[in-house]
Amino acid sequence: MLSRRHADILRILDAEGPVTIAALARRLAVSLETVRRDLRPLSATGRVLRTHGAVGLTGQIGEAPFLKRMRENAAAKQAIARALAATIRDGDAVMFDTGTTTSFAARELIGHRRLTVVTNSSDIARTLAGVNGNRVYMAGGELRPDSGAAFGKSALDFIARFSVRHAVISAGAVDEGGVMDHDLEEAEFARLVLECGERRVVVTDAAKFGRRGLTAVAGWDRIDTVITDRAPADRIGAAIAAGGGTLQIAAPRDAITAAPLARG
């Protein structure tokens, strides 16, 4: 029978993914030896795996990077996604780039009806296709083995045919100059998504503020709304306002677990 602390360990690992034993001890306010002792029966029954000083639920160790990113700042991302969904009406047309925050947004839109969705993300497409009369269009091209997103000229040519009410992108990095990404193809795709929208929205958790990316996606004069979980530094907030955009803060609720990727 599981003790309360065993249940707490499983809950933390489910919400946060693999963590170090030292970090787990701090979260539980117990000693390292106590954590190691608590982990023994969980490890013996196969519920957790230990490797190189870290511990995770069985199946988390070695999981794909996209799944790991879905667990990072999950409560913040869901709050942002919920705030975005509240601005989208039944029957609207929405375009998404690929990203963990936009994947959370797709899950928050499951209750909407008759949406037209355009995306390069197979996760977002599977989440919303066949639900409540939605029409979903997915860009073709070479799929990334990690995220299952399509990139390349064929994907760009495909989305350029559409004009949507809401163009929604995630962000790899954000500073006073605008939104950036660490991947050239992802930045190129996100840039074109913004050009296809009447309303241009960036959804990003506050951890991205103050970071520098490899390549620019868009300056603040090309973005209408930024939805995030905490206010950025004053210089970034001022740059958003100077560009004519609005900043919306979506405070997270209690900690939640990341939703799994949609399965085909």
Domain boundaries, the chain: 4-63, 69-249
- Kindly give the confidence (pLDDT) of every residue in the chain, 264 residues in length, as a single tens digit, with 9 standing for 90 and above: 568 889 889 888 877 777 888 888 888 999 989 998 999 888 877 788 776 667 877 665 555 566 667 777 888 999 999 999 999 999 999 999 999 999 999 999 999 999 999 999 998 999 999 889 999 999 998 888 777 899 999 999 999 999 999 999 999 999 999 999 988 999 999 999 999 999 999 999 999 999 888 899 999 999 999 999 999 999 999 999 999 999 999 988 643 333 334 433
Helix axes 32-44, 21-28, angle to 10 degrees: 110
Question: How far lies 138's CA from each of 103, 117, 222, in Å?
Answer: 14, 8, 24
What pLDDT shows up at residue 146? 73
Residue 75 φ then ψ, to 5°: -65, -40
Architecture of domain 69-249: 3-Layer(aba) Sandwich (3.40)
Residue 139 burial (CB count, 10 A): 26
> Which token pair is 161?
């045919």
Q: Are 75 and 87 in contact (CB under 8 A)?
A: no
What pLDDT shows up at residue 67? 66
C-alpha 194/C-alpha 262 separation (Å) is: 25
| Residue 119 bridge partners (DSSP) | 96, 138
> Which token pair is 235?
């210089």
What pLDDT shows up at residue 185? 93
Exposed, middle or buried by CB within 10 Å (0-12, 13-18, 19+), for 179? Answer: buried
Give me the torsion for CA of 114, 116, 122, 124, rounded to 10°: -60
What pLDDT shows up at residue 201? 98
What pLDDT shows up at residue 59? 60
Exposed, middle or buried by CB within 10 Å (0-12, 13-18, 19+), for 116? Answer: middle
What pLDDT shows up at residue 57? 78
Say if domain 4-63 classifies as CATH 1.10.287.130.
no
State CA 83 to chain mean position distance.
14
Q: Are 177 and 219 in contact (CB under 8 A)?
A: yes
Is the pTM higher than 0.95? The answer reads no
What pLDDT shows up at residue 71? 72
Residue 261 φ then ψ, to 5°: -65, 145
